[in-house]
């Protein structure tokens, strides 16, 4: 979808959410800024030479067969020079909307290169939250802010690369067949857990919260630990007044996953809007002691 069309669609959805749930005004204000930066980065990165890099199909198939997310392989350097200004911009967005001094300290650390931006971006790209936590501790910075700033900026890189490497526009590719057979709860591209599941036209796809890749999980089981519907894992509709929304709850691992009906898969980066727009499901799950799990322990 062209950047202008993405922006218009985002504006319509934000207006709807603001009218329905005024309590989301602050979250929407911040998201307008960060999603706007992601849409701009998508256009800038797509225009760069050799972006995204092409990865040999045999390599992709080998990684998928081994249950290893493809973007964990060595696929070349990140376009750091194009991403650093955007990171500093996200810090300014946080300062303007929230007033957090923690965002100011992160911005100043990036500007003075007390934080190596290439290291931070590489950690976010590899979805290494423990590495970002260590970096934050070394520099006495707020880990949540440091992660958010890098995560927003690296998202467009991950998205463009997963579309190319997973052959999103080549339905007859063996890679697409391999993605359809992917039987893991974590993303076949970057290894993140899904933000939610989308159901449309008889299909159900898990949607990655980082790169927006979509993949089916065919058997009815917990996305995170694999528990099946034996009393440990179940699906509920917490609010029957709002049809098409479900929660998958697992008592074995304590994880939960939101499910939403959609007309078609939501494009990146608008998936984050639906995540915020379904926040009442998160609150319902947390109220009963469920949580989103930590990053997956992936095979090496």
Looking at the structure, do residues 154 and 196 belong to the same domain, yes or no?
no
Same domain, 140 and 203: no
**Is 87 found in the same domain as 51?**
yes
Range of the structural domain that residue 210 is part of: 182-287
Indicate whether 113 and 191 sit together in one domain.
Answer: no
Q: Is residue 160 part of a domain?
A: yes
Place of tokens 């050799």: 50
**Per-residue pLDDT tens digits for 124-159:** 999 999 999 999 999 999 999 999 999 999 999 999
Domain stops at, among 133, 165, 197: 165
Domain-located, residue 111? yes
74 pLDDT band (50/70/90 cuts)?
A: low
Taking the CA atoms of residue 190, residue 195, residue 20 and residue 149 in that order, the dihedral angle to the nearest 10 degrees is -50
| 100 and 140 both lie in a single domain | yes
Judged by DSSP in three states, 123 sits in helix
Residues 6+ apart with CB under 8 A from 99: none
Digit-coded pLDDT (tens) for 182-224? 989 999 999 999 999 999 888 889 999 999 999 998 668 899 9
Give which of 279, 272, 194, 276 is closest to 38, Cα–Cα: 272
Q: pLDDT tier at 299 (50, 70, 90 boundaries)?
A: low
- Among the three residues 165, 198, 217, which one is the final residue of a domain in this structure? 165
Determine, yes or no, domain membership for 295: no
**pLDDT band with cut points at 50, 70 and 90 for residue 168:** confident
Specify if 274 maps to a domain.
yes
Task: Detail the DSSP E strand segments found in the chain.
Answer: 194-200, 203-208, 214-215, 233-236, 245-250, 256-261
Per the CB < 8 A criterion, the answer to whether 57 and 176 are in contact is no
> What secondary structure letter does DSSP report for 142?
-
Domain shared by 7 and 156, yes or no:
yes
Q: Could you tell me which residues come within 8 angstroms of residue 38 by beta carbon, excluding any fewer than 6 positions away?
A: 152, 155, 156, 268, 269
Task: Tell me, yes or no, whether 10 and 131 share the same domain.
Answer: yes
Counted domains in the chain: 2
**262 with 30: CB under 8 angstroms?**
no
Average pLDDT of the chain, as a whole number? 91
CB-based contact 192:153 (threshold 8 Å): no
146 and 191 belong to one structural domain = no
The whole-number pLDDT of residue 224 equals 92
The reply to whether 255 and 141 lie within a common domain is no
Determine the straight-line distance between the first and last CA of the chain, rounded to whole angstroms: 35
- Specify if 294 maps to a domain: no
What CATH number should be reported for the domain holding residue 269? 3.90.1670.10
Pair (126, 264) in one structural domain: no
Is residue 47, in this structure, part of any structural domain at all?
yes
Structure tokens at 129: 């939250």
Q: Are residues 153 and 271 in the same domain?
A: no
| Residue 237 is assigned to a structural domain of this protein | yes
In the chain, the percentage of residues whose pLDDT exceeds 70 is 95
Question: What would the pLDDT profile of 38-55 be if each residue is shown by its tens digit?
Answer: 999 999 998 888 777 778
The answer to whether residue 112 sits within a structural domain is: yes
Do 81 and 125 fall into the same domain?
yes
Single out the residue in 131, 165, 199 at which a domain terminates.
Answer: 165
How far apart CA 150 and CA 132 sit, in angstroms, is: 9
């Amino acid at each position: 979808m062209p950047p202008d069309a993405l922006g218009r669609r985002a504006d319509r959805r934000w207006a709807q959410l603001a009218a329905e749930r005024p309590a989301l005004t602050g979250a929407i204000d911040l998201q307008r800024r960060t999603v706007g930066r992601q849409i701009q980065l998508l256009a800038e990165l797509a225009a760069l030479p050799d972006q995204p890099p092409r990865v040999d199909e045999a390599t992709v198939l080998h990684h998928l067969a081994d249950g290893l997310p493809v973007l964990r392989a060595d696929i070349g350097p990140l376009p750091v020079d194009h991403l650093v200004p955007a990171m500093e911009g996200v810090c300014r967005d946080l300062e303007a909307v929230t007033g957090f001094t923690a965002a100011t300290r992160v911005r100043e650390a990036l500007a003075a290169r007390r934080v190596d931006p290439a290291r931070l971006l590489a950690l976010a790209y590899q979805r290494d939250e423990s590495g970002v936590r260590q970096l934050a501790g070394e520099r006495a910075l707020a880990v949540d802010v440091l992660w958010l700033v890098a995560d927003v900026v690296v998202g467009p890189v991950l998205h463009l690369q997963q579309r190319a490497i997973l052959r999103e526009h080549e339905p007859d590719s063996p890679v697409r067949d391999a993605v359809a057979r992917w039987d893991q709860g974590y993303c076949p591209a970057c290894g993140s857990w899904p933000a939610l599941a989308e159901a449309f036209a008889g299909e159900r796809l898990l949607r990655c919260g980082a790169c927006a890749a979509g993949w089916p999980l065919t058997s009815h089981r917990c996305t995170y630990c694999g528990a099946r519907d034996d009393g440990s894992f179940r699906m509920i509709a917490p609010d029957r007044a709002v049809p098409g929304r479900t929660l998958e709850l697992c008592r074995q691992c304590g994880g939960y996953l939101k499910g939403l009906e959609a007309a078609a898969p939501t494009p990146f980066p608008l998936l984050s809007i639906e995540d915020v727009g379904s926040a009442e499901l998160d609150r319902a799950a947390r109220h009963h002691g469920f949580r989103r799990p930590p990053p997956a322990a992936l095979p090496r």
